[in-house]
């Protein structure tokens, strides 16, 4: 866990965080399978 030395608000919301996780997981999958991965849009 990373501790922030001061309270700050972050840019983005839960949906933006979920998109980042989706992108990271697709990147790992793409690397393992050695192919492009299509992402489904998140609403």
- pLDDT tens for 1-43 read 555 666 666 677 888 889 999 999 999 999 999 999 999 988 7
Residue-range definition of the domain harbouring residue 22: 11-37
| Inside any domain, residue 19 | yes
| Inside any domain, residue 2 | no
23 within 8 A of 38, measured Cβ to Cβ? no
Structure tokens at 28: 């790992």
Predicted pLDDT at 33? 97
| Inside any domain, residue 42 | no
How many structural domains compose the chain?
1
Q: Which long-range contacts (CB under 8 A, 24 or more apart) does 7-15 make?
A: 15/42
| Inside any domain, residue 16 | yes
The whole-model pTM stands at: 0.68
């Amino acid at each position: 866990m990373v501790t922030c030395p001061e309270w700050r608000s972050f840019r983005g919301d839960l949906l933006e965080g979920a998109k980042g996780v989706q992108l990271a997981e697709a990147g790992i999958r793409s690397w393992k399978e050695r192919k492009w991965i299509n992402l489904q849009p998140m609403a």
